[in-house]
Amino acid sequence: MIKVGIVGGTGYTGVELLRLLAVHPDVQLTAITSRKEDGLPVADMFPSLRGRVNLAFSAPDKADLRQCDVVFFATPHGVAMAQAPELLAAGVKVIDLAADFRIKDRAVFEQWYKIEHSCPELLEEAAYGLAELNRDAISQARLVANPGCYPTTMQLGYYPLLKAGVIDAAGLIADCKSGVSGAGRKAEIGTLFSESSDNFKAYGVAGHRHTPETVAQLQQFSATPVELVFTPHLVPMIRGMHSTLYARLTREISNEALQALFEEQYKDAPFVDVMPFGSHPETRSTRGSNMLRLALHRPGNGNTVIVLVVQDNLVKGASGQAVQCMNLMFGLAEDTGLKQIALLP
């Protein structure tokens, strides 16, 4: 059994990790930390876990995470980098759901996240945790940087087109929407029910932290510079993410050939569903599951290709993806413990 610790178990990604790992056949939940909730039984905070998780939260200084095989950090940016070196030195593998190790360039990270990186020596070592594009590196890694939710949709949506060299890498446009849970489990005016319900708005238009992460990853697959216009939006739902991706075709290619690029690329990816050309994937078709669904469109058979991508931002966009990485790191089947079917209605 894999002994698992979770740092920061009281947020949405933390409880999602607990939901998934509590029924994982190869996992033993060992420690869940929270300084504020020290001693509180997990099931008292999250009644959905009654009878499944019998642990209590522990203050970080009381939990011996070095006894774990792997530790997940479901914490704000900056926490994992402070604790990862000690854990790695003790032979514990680390999966960070925040951004501490996603961006290899220290200066770029510090520019966007406004904090100094305390262990830059680990940046190059960290494997980027998008299994569909980085499976081999993840399986050999001791430190994994879990991708951002929006970057997951953008990378999986653009990758086959960039790899084939059929689109203009300098003209990518991503129009993306996320449910309110993407903002985290904290009290802020903008995410109060009466502020976000019956409302729709863009944010981060002048620049969003997920842009440099996405560009840096996509650049690996393009022979020409990648330029991305990314605009996120907040929609009045709890879970779900929908990204509409636009790209300009640079050579003649049939719709059938475009579809084949995606079907061939993801034929062995258990959590990417390439729907028939012209389909309209819905966020509810992924709710509560680790599945990402996408579909291609080509208005008027012109030079613009559109990729529609949906996922649950808390599962494939965060905690489910982290468990997917854990499976690879410990030599398990990639879909172990992640076969939940989406909730409908």
- Given a contact cutoff of 8 angstroms between Cβ atoms, the answer to whether 282 and 275 are in contact is no
Among the listed residues 344, 342, 335, the one whose alpha carbon sits nearest the alpha carbon of residue 271: 335
3 state DSSP class of 90: coil
DSSP 138-200: HHH-SEEEPPPHHHHHHHHHHHHHHHHT-B-GGGEEEEEEE-GGGG-SS--GGGSHHHHTT--
The token pair that represents 282 in the structure block: 């819905």
- Using CA atoms, how far residue 183 sits from 124, 149, 238, 290, 333, in Å, is 28, 11, 10, 19, 31
| 149 belongs to the catalytic site | yes
Distance (Å, whole) CA 134 – CA 78: 24
The active-site residue out of 68, 119, 149, 325 is 149
The CA distance from 214 to 108, in Å, is: 13
Q: Which of 268, 311, 263, 308 is CA-nearest to residue 290? A: 311
Q: Which positions are annotated as active-site residues? A: 149
